[in-house]
A = this chain, B = another copy of it.
Amino acid sequence: MEALWGAGPSLGLRMCCVQVAPARPSAGDFTPSFLRPGQLSNVDLNEDIRELLPRPYPNEIPHNEKLLSLKYESLDYDNSENQLFLEEERRINHAAFRTVEIKRWVICAMIGILTGLVACFIDIVVENLAGLKYRVVKDNIDKFTEKGGLSFSLLLWATLNASVVMVGSVIVAFIEPVAAGSGIPQIKCYLNGVKIPHVVRLKTLVIKVCGVILSVVGGLAVGKEGPMIHSGAVIAAGISQGRSTSLKRDFKIFEYFRRDTEKRDFVSAGAAAGVSAAFGAPVGGVLFSLEEGASFWNQFLTWRIFFASMISTFTLNSVLSVYHGNAWDLSSPGLINFGRFDSEKMGYTIQEIPIFIFMGVVGGILGALFNALNYWLTMFRIRYIHRPCLQVIEAMLVAAVTAAVGFVMIYCSRDCQPIQGSSVAYPLQLFCADGEYNSMATAFFNTPEKSVVNLFHDPPGSYNPMTLGMFTLMYFFLACWTYGLTVSAGVFIPSLLIGAAWGRLFGISLSYLTKGSIWADPGKYALMGAAAQLGGIVRMTLSLTVIMMEATGNVTYGFPIMLVLMTAKIVGDYFVEGLYDMHIQLQSVPFLHWEAPVTSHSLTAREVMSTPVTCLRRIERVGTVVDILSDTSSNHNGFPVLCLPHASDLFPPCLHGVVGRSLRGLVPPQVFVERANLSLVQRRLKLKDFRDAYPRFPPIQSIHVSQDERECMIDLSEFMNPSPYTVPQEASLPRVFKLFRALGLRHLVVVNNHNEVVGMVTRKDLARYRLGKEGLEELSLAQT
């Protein structure tokens, strides 16, 4: 064995494929994990380690158990500082770095502009199509109100809705299932460092945009705001890479940014731009990105994110202003605009604060109820509705039921209000007197965004308490049923709408109780109710406070909104977790929270790490490498490289048993794949090869390696990161967690006191420990 190692350097290390006589190495020396468990480290540790080895996982698992899926891979936020990388970085001078920096800003501006334009497109198309639909139905209802036979109108409405939603659902279910829902859980995972397949592809964006338009036009209880975040993220990922795999186009620009670190930074900016366009909330967008995604805070990155956000809302504002004919007015900063909350007219007093806190409690309870119902529904869907056609049928059913419920509610309502000005978009007269309209219809017969604004700003007395109560009840269940359907749709607006309805009801009740003394304006309570309900469902605090502040354009509302959101979060967390976290967990994603569980100081790296680790030598036989990569069960996607004879010092250090096992570096698997791809071309591998292949490196199985090639030797010194981050095996879990999370690592090598590899910590090892009701709990791992 030593003879072989000795032979390596003398053959010229820079030549990558070196024929070696196949007879020399005996088969036994090259088993995939060439350090067998027993050899790994101090002998006295191995007993403990073996007990901690993960038990064999079941292949198919029921979804109600606490488990983590092994199918998700990690992004690497840490640059692998291998020789190729360092050579490039050292070659780049100061001026070139400035060019790179300028490119980053240009990309951020482009992200902002494109996100804003996509938001405009969605807004304009939805407005026109929904307007068309409501006018058709309204004419029909008006016609049949007089001559009877409104059931035909109901049929028309339900059919229109169901058919539009069918199209929206078909494209999602059959073409790109990852475009379903709001996309916020997926983006949270991506920013957290979990690789979700297809999540930032152009195809996903197209399906998402079309899907959300069709869902909203189809009259489902959904919003178009949440999906903007996903859209922004896809735009960012696409632009920053300068190519599209869906279109198979490579523009040969921005190649420097083709790695996880840079891409993730841009995706943060895209998500922020999405929030900014959706709510006209650039600061809220930055905070959303940071709250949901960031780990290490970097000033320059945050500036760029802010820049993208600002450009995004500005683009949307300009284009929509031009579209609406008041070109230089800039009055539409976001897809939804909560309208003007004048602090003089709608100010709050200190006495109202306990009432707001009470509303927060209500919001927390209702939010938890929403989440719990949705949890059961999602479990049901996972078990029984997993075929695409069933999913489409369910979506159509929901669309038809939504229309039917709306129609019945409007039909049964006797809440007639006089038409004042032009605040009502599609006033349904139905059985009301001339010059009056059906008040229930302003809530049901309208896009949800408009209903929210109406509830905030309609003058006191526009709604009958009965109307509001019935609406809240019905809409609550409809929205709950709708979230999780196989359509692109957001949950922000329905939540706000439910909250605004019961908030307004609450405000009206208060003014009845106090004989209308001080609490004259129910719109303020509608706003607080909306905040409470949304907070109770999604459990965001800082970013949501700022988003609401910016959407209302009123800074003084910040304090009560913050109190309401915090209360809603605390109360809601007492029962179940937030909707997004719940869905992330139902997907068994290895999501890393902000801190390790507080009571985990008793666990050490030795107990949480995975063993055995497949290690490699610095000069390794291609056959060995191929075998290791093909064996997915022992594959951590990162291989420690151990001490080897160096060209300069030849044998001596490795003659010594102990020293021979000390860590020298870490190599990612794509090196071998790229190397194998190029194995016959005898040229040196360049960083460009990795960038061109990023992010979809082919699996090793797809590359044919001949028997001759298997006997070649591969030199890893150029490709390994010679200074991987390590932790001693005695480090506590919080310490390991902090290092892993703060630096956004993918692998963390655990070493003993002599720098010998004893194990490896990856995302799943850390995500496995959670704080449950009875203290620390450990999730099991599964291949699904």
Which residues on A are within 8 Å of B, measured CB to CB? 81, 86, 89-90, 92-94, 97, 280, 282-283, 286-287, 290-291, 294-300, 302-303, 306-307, 310, 313-314, 318, 328-330, 333, 343, 347-351, 541-542, 545-546, 549-550, 553-556, 558-559, 562, 566, 594-595, 598-599, 601-602, 605, 643, 658-659, 662-664, 722-723, 725-728, 730-732, 735, 738-739, 742-743, 751, 753-755, 771, 775
Instruction: Please give, as numbers and ranges, the residues of chain B lying within 8 Å of A732 by CB-CB distance.
Output: 81, 86, 89, 723
Partner of A81, one of B94, B294, B559, B735: B735
Q: Are A556 and B330 in contact (CB under 8 A)?
A: yes
Instruction: Please give, as numbers and ranges, the residues of chain B lying within 8 Å of A559 by CB-CB distance.
Output: 282, 310, 313-314
Instruction: Please give, as numbers and ranges, the residues of chain B lying within 8 Å of A310 by CB-CB distance.
Output: 558-559, 562
Partner of A754, one of B296, B554, B595, B662: B662
Q: Are B555 and A280 in contact (CB under 8 A)?
A: yes
Q: Are A329 and B302 in contact (CB under 8 A)?
A: no
Q: Are B93 and A754 in contact (CB under 8 A)?
A: no
Query: A33–B329 Cα gap in the complex (Å)?
Result: 72
Smallest CB–CB gap between A570 and chain B, Å? 10
Q: Are A81 and B731 in contact (CB under 8 A)?
A: yes
List the 3 closest pairs (A to B, CB-CB), nearest first: A723-B731, A755-B755, A328-B349
Name the residue of chain B whose CB is nearest to the CB of A732: B81
Partner of A594, one of B81, B299, B659, B728: B299
Partner of A556, one of B306, B333, B658, B751: B333
Q: Are B330 and A86 in contact (CB under 8 A)?
A: no
Apart from A754-B754, A754-B755, what are 15 other A-B pairs with CB-CB below 8 Å?
A86-B732, A90-B601, A97-B598, A286-B542, A290-B302, A295-B296, A299-B542, A303-B566, A313-B559, A330-B347, A333-B555, A725-B739, A738-B743, A739-B743, A742-B742
Smallest CB–CB gap between A693 and chain B, Å? 23
Query: A343–B348 Cα gap in the complex (Å)?
Result: 22
Query: A307–B542 Cα gap in the complex (Å)?
Result: 9
Q: Are B753 and A735 in contact (CB under 8 A)?
A: no
Instruction: Please give, as numbers and ranges, the residues of chain B lying within 8 Å of A662 by CB-CB distance.
Output: 753-755
Most chain B Cβ neighbours within 10 Å, of A554, A659, A754: A754
Partner of A283, one of B280, B328, B546: B546
Most chain B Cβ neighbours within 10 Å, of A314, A555, A751, A775: A555
Instruction: Please give, as numbers and ranges, the residues of chain B lying within 8 Å of A725 by CB-CB distance.
Output: 739
Query: A637–B598 Cα gap in the complex (Å)?
Result: 29
Name the residue of chain B whose CB is nearest to the CB of A328: B349
Smallest CB–CB gap between A747 and chain B, Å? 15
Smallest CB–CB gap between A104 and chain B, Å? 12
Partner of A329, one of B296, B347, B599: B347
Query: A239–B314 Cα gap in the complex (Å)?
Result: 43
Q: Are A542 and B89 in contact (CB under 8 A)?
A: no
Instruction: Knowing A97-B598, A556-B333, A598-B97, say if A350 contacts B658 (CB, 8 Å).
Output: no
Instruction: Please give, as numbers and ranges, the residues of chain B lying within 8 Å of A313 by CB-CB distance.
Output: 559
Query: A742–B744 Cα gap in the complex (Å)?
Result: 11
Query: A300–B539 Cα gap in the complex (Å)?
Result: 13
Chain A to chain B contacts (Cβ below 8 Å), 21 pairs:
A90-B602, A93-B599, A93-B775, A97-B598, A97-B599, A280-B555, A283-B287, A286-B542, A290-B297, A290-B302, A291-B302, A296-B738, A296-B742, A297-B297, A328-B349, A329-B347, A333-B555, A550-B555, A664-B753, A723-B728, A738-B743
Name the residue of chain B whose CB is nearest to the CB of A294: B297
Partner of A542, one of B280, B295, B302, B663: B302
Query: A730–B775 Cα gap in the complex (Å)?
Result: 42
Name the residue of chain B whose CB is nearest to the CB of A727: B723
Q: Are B595 and A298 in contact (CB under 8 A)?
A: yes
Q: Are A659 and B303 in contact (CB under 8 A)?
A: no
Partner of A545, one of B306, B545, B755: B306
